[in-house]
Amino acid sequence: MSTFNLPKQTNFYKGKVRDVYTIADKYMVMQVSDRISAFDVVLPRPIPYKGQVLNQIAAQFLNATKDIVPNWMISSPLPNITIGHKCETYPVEMVVRGFLTGHAWRTYKSGKRELCGVTLPEGLKENDRFPTPIITPTTKAHEGHDEDISREEIISRGLVSKEEYEQLEKYTLAIYQRGQEIAKERGLILVDTKYEFGKKDGVITLIDEIHTPDSSRYFYLEGYEERQAKGEAQKQLSKEFVREWLMANGFQGKDGQQVPEMTDEVIKGISERYIELYENVTGKPFVKEDVSEEDTVKRIEEELAKLGV
């Protein structure tokens, strides 16, 4: 995938899976590529339609939550392109958890009962539901790993003011609740997820992707209680299956480890899982769309022209 040269382009940022163009210091054009990362490493081969899956899920959920909080999206004119407002971003990510799983479970299992300043109740087992959802924020790292941080540290270090941070918490819990309600309609549980916020003209604004399998973890609702009662693993819908395949093949992103060979069969399997994720999360059939680079640029330019660029 090559880099575009767009009208009034003022910046370009290539992330692990996204290419972000800043236009006239006012708008952003985000292209969600088919690149895939795990353990902070971009894997050697792209996954067909992964960008379309992530972009279209995010667009659907941004539309479904815009009555709760304004968001950055203006339009999503192409399968893997979203155009939106440039916002001044907050230096923290709001991670919200309804269940004891993943990083929270690893912390709990080690004997600790506090995560990001939040006290965890005694007597829980892996994948148990918390009495109420908890927020476990992280710092936003440009390089390397994000780090856990507490609400108190965020405020005392002046990363976000107390008043604004309290508003971010309210928005986070409200969007998560909406996400859980929609997931339930699809026979799923939205287990945990993360949100990023910024400010546009002084107004707190939801940015980036939401409720995608790359930023969220889903369980299947049917059989959840029975599996918990028996101490069985939960059926998951997330990117975890990619990490599990890598670990089973001896790769965890550590120095000296080689990424296992991604055969055509492996690539096809991952692509099919992403499409399955899309259909489960959105409740819609997935329609594969292939757009040429020339048509992509043309459509982006037409959308920018509507914005006066």
Mean pLDDT of 127-137: 97
Mean pLDDT of 116-120: 97
Mean pLDDT of 7-20: 93
Q: What is the pLDDT of residue 126?
A: 97
Q: Average pLDDT over the chain, rounded to whole?
A: 94
What would the pLDDT profile of 24-55 be if each residue is shown by its tens digit? 999 999 999 999 998 888 999 999 999 999 99
Domains of the chain: 9-85+241-306 (3.30.200.20), 89-237 (3.30.470.20)
At 100, the pLDDT band (50, 70, 90 cuts) reads very high
Residues 83 and 191: their CA atoms lie apart, in Å, by: 28
Mean pLDDT of 185-201: 97
Angle subtended by helix axes 162-185 and 50-65, to nearest 10: 110
At 1, the pLDDT band (50, 70, 90 cuts) reads low
Report the 3 state secondary structure along the chain. Answer: CCCCCCCCEEEEEECCCEEEEEECCCEEEEEECCCCEECCEECCCCCCCHHHHHHHHHHHHHHHHCCCCCECEEEEEECCEEEEECCEEEEEEEEEEEECCHHHHHHHHCCCCEECCEECCCCCCCCCEEEEEEECCEECCCCCCCCECCHHHHHHCCCCCHHHHHHHHHHHHHHHHHHHHHHHHCCEEEEEEEEEEEEECCEEEEECCCCCCCCEEEEECCCHHHHHHHCCCCCEECCHHHHHHHHHCCCCCCCCCCCCCCCHHHHHHHHHHHHHHHHHHHCCCCCCCCCCHHHHHHHHHHHHHHCCC
Token pair 């990117």 is at which residue? 239
Q: Which is more confidently placed, 87 or 237?
A: 87
What would the pLDDT profile of 274-309 be if each residue is shown by its tens digit? 999 999 999 999 999 999 999 999 999 999 999 999
pLDDT greater than 80 at residue 224? yes
Residues 55, 80 contacting (CB under 8 angstroms): yes
What residues have CB less than 8 Å from 161, skipping those under 6 apart?
A: 155
First to last CA, the chain: 24
Distances (CA, A) of 132 to 184, 217, 248, 304: 17, 17, 34, 43
Mean pLDDT of 152-157: 97
Mean pLDDT of 216-229: 96
What would the pLDDT profile of 245-284 be if each residue is shown by its tens digit? 999 999 998 889 999 999 999 999 999 999 999 999 999 9
Residues 119, 104 contacting (CB under 8 angstroms): no
